[in-house]
Structure formats: structure tokens, C-alpha cells
Amino acid sequence: MSEREDERGPISWEALAAELEATRDDEEEAAGADPAVWDAVAARLAARVADRPAPPADDVPAVPDEPLVLPGMPEPPAPEPVPEPEADLDDDLDDDLDDDEVRGGVEALLFVAEGPAGEETLAATLRVGVPRVRAALAELSEGYDARRAGIALRRAGEGWRLYTREEFAPVVERSLTGGGRSRLTQAALETLAVIAYRQPVTRARISAIRGVGVDGVMRTLLTRGLVVEVGTDPDSGGGLYGTTPLFLERMGLTGLHELPPLAPLLPDATALAREQQEG
């Protein structure tokens, strides 16, 4: 070893890097950057480092928080921020309510709700878990059905809503002045049925199916929020119409898949052809 290599002072990484760089330049000129030369240099450097005694514990510098960056190394990527833990939702729950209170609270909220109430919304308002709300909804629905109450609890769209029971519809109708304010005309009902089963559909197509103009009844259905324009027909440029969540709510459906099959309601094709020939 050279006199420089016999020194036993602390290792300087900067000095080693400079020495390695100088050695690389000398060896590349002598050996044409032969990989074997680099293996020899690395082995000699490892032997030199292993031969030096460890410094006393008091002389060991503290490890910095930042990663060590040697000359020629790229900057390390910045550490990603650690997300804060989410708040435990169970801390906001009110466990003091018994089952009767949860059931009564759900019933009261459904009574004053302007539209279908979702299970999550009911649970958040009562500050109880969603499973308890679901159990309360099931108990209320079964209780109404068991005693043939005047109201029934059913799913509507994305939530739950109270409805008057169908068998008491005549009583409700008699209580309304004239009973016609909430009714649709036969023409409006026929147009609404065409839209429900053929949506999205244009006004021209609806008129062709019904055989009459539908501008007036379309205005009525749009005003009442039962249908809405959902797009534009790429061929004719006319508006395409479909039903709204309010339509499902009024019909007591959770989705269009619950519409009754249309085939049994259609007239027999043979009879229809015979009528057209006689006409």
C-alpha cells in the first residue's frame, strides 16, 4: 500500500470519489475502459474500507433526516405526504336511542320528507348506523302491511317514501276538490306511456305512434316534471325525451325495469289487421 493508503483517519467520501474519478481516468487510458480494470478498482476500494477500524461511538456523526446524496447521484424524489387518518364515523353515532326511538324517528322523517329519503340520509340525521335504519324501515313496512294501515312504505328511486294504500284510493279521491287537479288526461297518459316504453324518443315518433299531435300534452308532461329532454336525435336533429325520477316516484317504481311487460297489453296482430282492412 502507498503511504496515503496506510493512513487511519476517518474516511472522506468526497476524497474517495475524487480518487476513484482520477483512477478511472488513468485506468481508461491504460486499459481502454476494460471492465476488469473497474472490478480491480472496486475490490481495492472495498478492501481499504474494510481494513479501517470503526471510529469511536462518540465520533460517529448523527444520521441526517435527508437521504445521503453522493457526487454524481441524482436528487432523490421528494417524499409523498402521508394522508391524515380519517375520522372515525362511529364517534358521531348516538347509541342512546333505543329501537323504538329509531323507528319513530325514521317514520317522522319520512312523513315530512319532500321526496324519497335515502338510508344514509336517515342514518346521518338520526346519528345512528345504517343497519339500524334498514331494520327500522323493514319493521315499519311490515307493521303497516300487517294492520292494513292507510299508508304503505315502499322504495322509490334511490330512497324510501310513504304512500297511501291503493285500496283506499277512492277515499282519497273523494277528499280532493273535484279530484282532477292531480289527474292526467287520457291523451297525456297515452303519451307518457309511449315515452316510458320507447325512451329516448322524439316528438315526431310519439305523434306517429299515437296518430295525433302531441305538442299540448308534451307541454303538460314537461311542466309537471314527468318527462325531460335527454338529448338530440342524430338523424333528425329533434329533441329526445325520457321519463324523470319523479315519474318513477309517482308510479312507485325503483327503475324502468319494473314496468309491466308491454306485450300482453297489445292487441292481437291478426285482429288488428282485420280491423284495418274493414275500415
The pLDDT of residue 45 = 64
Q: φ and ψ at 32, to 5 degrees?
A: 65, 40
Query: Which domains, ranges and CATH numbers included, belong to the chain?
Result: 4-59 (no CATH), 90-175 (1.10.10.10), 186-278 (1.10.10.10)
Read off the C-alpha cell for 132: 339500524
How do beta strands 151-156 and 159-164 pair? antiparallel
Report the pLDDT value the prediction gives residue 146, as an integer from 0 to 100: 92
182 contacts 176 by C-beta, under 8 angstroms: yes
Do 157 and 137 meet the contact criterion of CB atoms below 8 Å apart? no
Residue 236's pLDDT is what?
84
Smallest CA-to-CA distance from 136 within 123, 149, 146, 127 is with 123
Is pTM beyond 0.75? Reply is no
159/153 Cα distance (integer angstroms): 11
Q: Cell for 39?
A: 472490478
The rounded distance, in Å, linking the Cα atoms of 127 and 136 is: 14
Strand partners, 117: 160
Count the Cβ atoms, other than its own, within 10 Å of residue 39. 10
Grid cell listed for 210: 299515437
pLDDT in tens, the chain (279 residues): 444 444 445 556 666 666 666 665 555 555 455 556 566 666 666 666 555 554 554 544 554 555 555 555 566 666 666 655 444 445 566 567 888 999 999 999 998 887 889 999 999 999 999 999 999 999 999 999 999 999 899 988 788 998 888 888 888 777 765 544 557 888 899 999 999 999 999 999 998 888 888 888 998 899 889 999 999 988 888 899 999 998 988 888 888 888 888 766 555 555 555 655 665
Q: Quote the longest CA-to-CA distance of the chain.
A: 123
